[in-house]
Amino acid sequence: MPGVRAVSELLPFVVAGLVTGSLYGLAGTGLVLTYKTSGVFNFAHGAVGAASAFVFFDLWYDRGLPWPLALIVSVGVLAPLLGLLLSAVAGRLATASTASRVVATVGVLLVIQGLIQVRYGAVPRSIHTPLPTTTTRILGTEVGYDQMITAAVALVTLAALSYMFRATRLGLQMRAVVDNGELVGLTGTSPPAVRAASWVIGCVFAGITGVLFAPVVGLNSLLLTLVVVQAFGAAALGRLRNLTMTFAGGLLVGVVQAVLRAPIIRDAVPLIKSLTNLDMAVSFLCLFLVLLLSRRGVFADVPHVRSPRFVRVLPISTICVALATVTVFVALLPYLAPTRAPVFTQAAIFVVILASLHLLVEVSGQVSLCHAVFVAIGATSFAHFTTGAGLPWLVGSLLAACVAVPVGAVVALPSIRLSGLYLALATFGFGIVVEQMAYNRPIMFGTLGTRTGHRPSVLGLDGDAGYFYLCVLCAVLAVGLILVIRRARLGRLLAALADSPTSLVTNGSSINVTRLLVFCVAAAMAAFGGALYVGVVGSVSSTGVSPGALISFNSLLWIAVLALAGRSDILSPVIAAVALIVLPSYFTSEAFANFQPVAFGLAALAVTVFGEDFRAWLSMAAPAVEARMAHSPVADRVKRLVGSEGLA
Amino acid sequence: MTVSREAVDLRAEHLTVRFGGAVAIDDLSLCAPSGQVTGLIGPNGAGKTTTFNACSGLLRPDKGRILLAGRDVSEDPPQKRARAGLGRTYQRMQLCESMTVIANVALGPEARLSGRAPWRHLFSPSDQQRAIATATDEALELCGIGDLRDRTISTLSTGKRRLVELARVLAGGFSVLLLDEPSSGLDEAETEAFGQILRRVQLERRVGTLLVEHDMSLVMSICARLYVLDFGKLIFEGLPDEAQASEVVRAAYLGAPA
């Protein structure tokens, strides 16, 4: 009978799905536990799993240590130590801005990833599992002992957590925090101890997941990170608060993912077959859709107080001298270092891209973790319009910017219902979904993963120097646009939106319009940067390892580097672009290249964790800092119109 | 401001709000007519702030409707009600902490003028800018915080913050003001000054004010009419003097039948 055959063909996939699903559930449970007890969402969760896996297989597979010892070192010592580190970081960030809370754990992610690369190299390796791989027949399906043991480990671990919740004092406190984090500070129990304990548990869960996943996906730090990060989808299904639901969500994601791989399903539904990588994207699709479709108020982020912006008002003469120096320097740059012209050109383009990110993060207080996707959409659309359709450069690049506008609007949709961290998570999910499912489609990079495009062919702009000047001009215009927006009504509404959306609403402004606008503008700017990007070497690729590559993961890197470049509208994008693009080109030795993400990560961590202290120290050291506060544009205008003499 | 200040009154009819099984407001009807201050008082948890949230559209009542100048606004989102002339302040203040006093106050008219049209969110014509500047300045002067204009909100005391929030709602040119415990956290002198400002507002502008307040001397001296809530139910409606004499009101406040 065909029905029975279908079931028997599907069953192995369901079993495999339940096994991976139990691991997603385990990792997700750890994630939700740490999130609920500290308010900090751990983007480094996957990296912790990867680190444990690498250390375990280093000790057991390469050095031949007995596996229990290797397990104790990797999951019993390393993971808890990382947990304590993250707990300390989280403790300082409870009420920090969304960007800080995101960037801090992204910093940890970069550090761990970087150290893995430094120690073990970037080349993925395949290893075999320490578990027995023989199979037995259960209900007519071959089930591996390793599969059974994996699922059993996940279940036993969760049972242990459940027992601890019920039977121990610490467990009771932890449950209290998970139920209502605000209350715990009031009831006299020690939140730091509870927090540290839950971070240790969460990281151990991530470690177990990493070790058990490594034989399946190989020792590849990015892939391992990504696999553990699939737990984000499970966590979203558990609404980032319910541990049981999270585990169930993990199982669901695992089973759906595995079933989508089954040939019988793929043959039956052509759509699934045509959507390559749908299985890898399922979890992130879940993440995006759950956040997008959830009832208002289900995901409500903790409010925070933004520290005021200090803008140093320099004398006109200083500004003129600085401007003249910079202009001369930039004008001479292609002649001073002719071989590096492409590097500086790319840096100028990144000023455009990072300025658009700055507009979202700093000006509007919203975090986008899919910026690389906006750039990729711009780059590939530009290639289609020019190389494909034969349109002139200017038309092609402007159209590319327009293409990104509706995409920006789609990403802005969650921002209507979500704020802060949840918006960041939704954009993160969106970025990975696009990368997994759309990058290799003809509409973007195609199966070959590259697209070509040309530079404008007029006025000598196709030469290295000419194109560099063009990109610098665009960078200046991009930063200028940020300054204009700051001073226009949109800037004032965005500043207010970042502080208190409620006040805007009850004073009559439709904040969804503001949010939609800023995402569209930022996406268009980033896409225009993408169009320029193609012209640097004449082609653009969907993969790469450089900090400027358009892989979704780099969105995290960019936002971390931008965060450590400060909060200035003019200087931050420039400093960040130099740090991302120019510096690596000068330090080309392998050691430097490897340590670069570590350095970025450490710096991002330092800025987010100690930045406030540093600012506080600055304001104590300079009591006159209040006087240097930038006068808001409104204040200036009011003074001009009314005159300040009547009131002061 | 371009907004005309014709007589606009706020009316709530048969409001009922439930949170799960608990009834927060039970069949409440009230009216805040233009040109006078109407008091809404009651012990803690009586449902005063819930009433405000239902009026301003932050929560949807299970039953009943809200009328603004005779028009049913029950289906309108908060921003639309604000554009129709309903302004409010919060017991837990909603200020932009990282911005200056003047920027916060200017946000009142600016937010209202930005409305819902996308182009209005991008740039503002200079006549609107002038209107905003004038409204902001009047409000700052009215609330006596002109000297604080360039201070950042996070450096201000609670009392000053209350004044900033009041100034913002005044600058917004609203016809109906919902003021939620504007004097809580203020000392005696500040409360006195606050009362003066409210009286001046009432004299100079034809606004209707609905005031939630715990300071009884302020309430008694300023309110033309009082509504007293207890456990979500309206237990008294009338003149302040009558409220003071009322046994029901006294029982609600002191907890014992007289």
Which residues does chain A have with pLDDT short of 50? 622-648
CATH number at residue A204: 1.10.3470
Q: Based on the domain organization, do A21 and A126 belong to the same domain?
A: yes
A390 lies in the same domain as A461? yes
Supply the DSSP symbol for B125: -
| Rounded alpha-carbon distances, angstroms, from residue B209 to A130, A369, B36, B105, B206 | 74, 45, 6, 19, 10
Test B90 with A502 for CB contact under 8 angstroms. yes
Q: What is the pLDDT of residue A647?
A: 33
Q: Which residue of B has its CA nearest to A308?
A: B98
Q: Tell whether A132 and A209 lie within a shared domain.
A: yes
Whole-number pLDDT of residue A436: 84
pLDDT confidence of residue A97: 75
- Same-domain pairing of A287 and A347: no
Q: Do A638 and B150 touch (CB under 8 A)?
A: no
Is A322 part of any domain? no
Provide, as residue numbers in chain A, all residues whose Cβ is less than 8 Å from the Cβ of B106.
Answer: 492, 634, 638
Going A324 to A359 to A482 to A500, the CA torsion angle's sign is negative
A626 to chain B, any CB pair closer than 8 A? The answer is yes
Chain B residues closer than 8 Å to A495 by CB = 96, 98-99, 103
Look at residue A538 in the predicted model and tell me its pLDDT. Answer: 76
Is there a domain that residue A298 lies in? no
CA distance linking residue A629 with residue A235, whole number of Å: 42
Q: How far apart are the first and last CA of chain A?
A: 90
Which three-class secondary structure string do you get for A49-69? HHHHHHHHHHHHHHCCCCHHH
Same structural domain for residues A354 and A448?
yes
Res A594: pLDDT: 73
* Residue A256 lies inside a defined structural domain of this protein: yes
| Residue A257 sits in the same domain as residue A368 | no
Q: Which of B110, B129, B174 to mutate to test the interface with A (most CBs of A within 10 A)?
A: B110
How many domains is chain A partitioned into structurally? 2
Q: What integer pLDDT is reported at residue A525 of this predicted model?
A: 95
Q: For residue A400, is it within any domain? A: yes
The crossing angle, in degrees rounded to 10, of helices A371-383 and A511-537 is 60
Does A375 lie in the same domain as A289?
Answer: no
- pLDDT tens for B47-66 read 888 888 889 888 888 888 98
Tens of pLDDT along B133-184?
Answer: 999 998 998 888 889 888 888 888 888 888 899 899 999 888 899 998 888 8
Residues A384 and A519 in one domain: yes
Q: Is the CB of A504 less than 8 angstroms away from the CB of B152?
A: no
Give yes or no: residues A265 and A349 share one domain.
no
Chain A contact set for B77 (CB, 8 A): 505
Question: Which pLDDT band holds residue B2 (cuts at 50, 70, 90)?
Answer: very low
Interatomic CA distance for residues B23 and B20, integer angstroms: 8
Chain A contact for B169 (CB, 8 A cutoff): yes
CA distances from A574 to A41, A358, A568, A580, A608 (A): 29, 11, 10, 10, 20
Residue A251 shares a structural domain with residue A172:
yes
Residue that finishes a domain, picked among A570, A586, A602 = A586
Angle of helix A191-217 relative to helix A169-179, nearest 10 degrees? Answer: 90
Q: Which residue, A545, A563, A586, sits at the end of a domain?
A: A586
Long-range pairs of A199-202 with CB within 8 A, sequence gap ≥ 24: A199/A34, A199/A37, A199/A38, A199/A83, A199/A84, A199/A86, A199/A87, A199/A90, A200/A79, A200/A80, A200/A83, A200/A84, A200/A87, A201/A30, A201/A33, A201/A83, A201/A161, A202/A30, A202/A31, A202/A33, A202/A34, A202/A42, A202/A45, A202/A83
Percent of chain B with pLDDT over 90: 8
* Domain-embedded: residue A598: no
Q: What is the pTM of this model?
A: 0.82
**Ranges of H-type helices in B84-230:** 101-114, 118-122, 126-142, 158-171, 188-204, 216-222
Question: Could you tell me if A351 and A450 lie in one domain?
Answer: yes
Q: How far is B244 from chain A (nearest CA, A)?
A: 33
Q: Is residue A19 part of a domain?
A: yes
Lowest mean pLDDT of A302-311, B19-28, B87-96, B157-166, name the range.
A302-311
Q: Do A117 and A32 fall into the same domain?
A: yes
The confidence band for B94, taking pLDDT boundaries of 50, 70 and 90, is: confident
Is B120's CB within 8 Å of A489's CB?
yes
What angle do helix axes B188-204 and B158-171 make, rounded to 10 degrees?
A: 10
Contacts of B82 in chain A (CB under 8 A): 505-508
Which range marks the domain in which residue A566 is found?
342-586
Residues B118, A309: C-beta atoms closer than 8 Å: no
pLDDT band, very low/low/confident/very high, at B252 (cuts 50, 70, 90): confident
pLDDT for B1 equals 42
In a domain, A410, yes or no: yes
In a domain, A311, yes or no: no
Q: What is the pLDDT of residue A82?
A: 93
Question: What is the residue whose two structure tokens read 């970069």?
Answer: A110
Write the ipTM.
0.87
Question: Which whole-number Å values give the CA distances from B79 to A120, A497, B57, in the listed order?
Answer: 56, 14, 8
